[in-house]
Structure formats: structure tokens, C-alpha cells
Homo-oligomer: A and B are copies of this chain.
Amino acid sequence: MQPKINFTPGPSQLYFTVEDHARRAFRDGIPSLSHRTKEFESISNDATGGLRELLSVPGDYHILFCASATEIWERVIQNLVEENSFHLVNGAFSNKFYETATQLRKQAGKHEAMPGEGFPEINISSTELIALTQNETSTGVSMPVNYLNSFRIKNPEALIVVDAVSSLPYPKFDYNNIDSVFFSVQKGFGLPAGLGVWMVNDRCIAKAENLLSKNIPIGSYHSLPTLVSMARKNQTPETPNVLGIYLLGKVVQDMLRRGIPIIRKETEYKSAILYQALSNHPHLKPLVHDDLWRSKTVLVASGGGQTEKITSFLQSRGMQAGDGYGSAKPYQLRFANFPAHSKEQYELLVDTLADYQG
């Protein structure tokens, strides 16, 4: 049995309403609905239309469904890069995005920061694509939106692609200063894993079509032109995760009813009280020193030799902290702060951490 409050950064705690929506989905035959029906198109349109409103996505962006954000790393490189991409790397996931480009035999450059640190102003020599991991899930470093916006002016030719896997729906992006954003649903949206959402503007489509015109392979069923032409009809090239798309649409509607300003304000409140608790704690401290670069959605703490004992203590109080990523597991903890985590749960977490005597 799982402890009842799940702070692991993903798959994470389900949004409050997911179980009810799933029950209704089974009652209404959604899991066996043909994806080539008007009903499916309406379900798909509910999800994309709702996301467009929730995240203020402009009309010239297309919203596409893939299987995972990991798939989207591959599709980004395959469809948008002929020769070279440039990556800002400060942890395991931004590095995997970089490695995806090398595996696809592109000339990938990177600027590496130490794990847990932000980036300076970077001058990038000519590149086709700049890959920005806005929220590095392994270390809890998050790029301020102003920092993201600084790339366009200095690199007007490059496509700017933003991995927002573990931050959306929190950040308020300026879509005019970027060209693509993506996320997966099992983090900030509190849904079962198995669906990635890829948002692209027309510059991305033009780039993919340009590669195609040069006879460069850009994939098959999930090439950007194929995805977009199906998405215009609220369709997908393959039989998709219909249940996942249905649940996404329902949760997005729930979030719209709650209001994105409230969700953002609560995210900030919860992150503030946890960072304060970590800063004041005798055994824990925030991994990220610079407040400007601290993630509000994945908070990482250094726990030194007390880490495992703190995890056990939280479990004994019904809470599951996320382990530190990879080799940091013995001495770091991660706490997801997603819309599914209530203020009360965060207050309980903070109080419980204060109770820990070591």
C-alpha cells in the first residue's frame, strides 16, 4: 500500500478528480471507443481547447499528442534539426535531451552548469535549435521566464524549444519568444502516465517541411506535418491513449474552474513555506542556492546522512518524498509541488519535517 500523500515528482499524486473521471469513462465506454469517431474528436478537442485556455496558448500554436516527453525529445530533434542543436544542461534530464541529439547523429553543442545551479548569459554561435529545459526535474533548478525570453533577440534564426515537463501548468510563458513547449501529463497535471503534449508554432512546421523537401527523414507517423494534419481534424495518426486524452480534458476543465491564477498563487505559497522550512531545518537545506533559480514545482533538498531516516520518518506519517535522482538518492530528497498537492498537505509536510529530531 502506498502512503497516502505522494510527493514524488512523477508519476506523482493524482489530481483530486481523476479517479471519479476514470470511473465515469468506463461507464461511458471511453476505453473501447473507436478513435475514428466524432465522439473521439470531441474528446480530443476538449483537451486541446482546454489547454489552450488554461495555458493562454496563442492561435498559431498547434497542440499535439505523443506518448511521452521522452518521445518528444526525439521528435523535436528529428523534425527540427538538420545539422546542429544547442543545449543548456544542468542535470540528468537536460543532458538526456542533449544525448538524444547525439544519438540521432546531430552535431549537438552544450553549455553545462553544475547540477543545482542556474546559467549565466550565454552567447551561442549559430545554431538551428536551442533546447531549454525550463525545469530540471533531477535537481530542482528552474529557468525564470525572463531568462527564456532573452534567447530570441540574440538568436533570431534559431528555434527555441522549451521542456516544461515538470513545471506546467505553473509557468506563464511568453509564446512569442519561443517556438515550442512540451510536457507530460503525469507531473503537474496529476494524471496516469502514458501521454505527452507537444505544442509547436508554424515556424516549427516550416522547418520540418524544409527538411522533408531536402529528402531528410523526419520519421513516419509522428512526423510533425503528419501530426499537425491529423490534429487539425482533432485526430491522431495512430490509435492513441484515448483514456489518457479524455482524462486530460477533464482535469484541465477542473483546473479552469478552479482558476489558473489561484493554482499559481497556491503553488507559490506551498513552495515558499517548504523552502522556508528547509532553510530553517537542522538537517536539510535547499539544494539550489540562488532563490531566482529555485524551482517552485520540484523542490530539492540536501539531507546528507539523515536523508534515508527522513524518508522513513515521512513514510511513517503517511507521506512519500521523492528520492534524489540517480546517484544523489542517498543524500537528497525531492518534493513535487503540483496542483494535486493541497495547501493542507504542504502544511502537514512542513510541520512534519519540523517534528523530525534526527
Contacts and interface: CB of A to CB of B under 8 A. Distances in A.
Contacts of A195: 194
Interface stretch (A151-159, A171-179, A214-222): A214-222
Contacts of A105: 215, 217
B194 A11 contact: no
Contact of A223 (B34, B103, B184): B103
Given A71-B221, A105-B215, A217-B103, A193 B242 contact: yes
A109 interface: no
Contacts of A356: none
A8 B22 contact: no
Interface string A84-120: 0000000000000001100111000000000000000
Interface stretch (A12-20, A262-270, A284-292, A299-307): A12-20
A241 interface: yes
Contacts of A14: 26, 31-32
A33 B1 CA distance: 11
A34 B217 CA distance: 34
Contacts of A12: 32
A235 to B, nearest CB: 13
B220 A73 contact: yes
Interface in A171-192: 184, 186, 190-192
A255 to B, nearest CB: 17
7 contacts: A6-B32, A18-B26, A67-B238, A68-B239, A70-B238, A71-B221, A194-B241
Given A100-B220, A104-B217, A192-B241, 12 more contacts: A2-B28, A6-B32, A11-B34, A13-B32, A35-B193, A67-B67, A67-B68, A68-B239, A71-B221, A73-B220, A103-B223, A193-B240
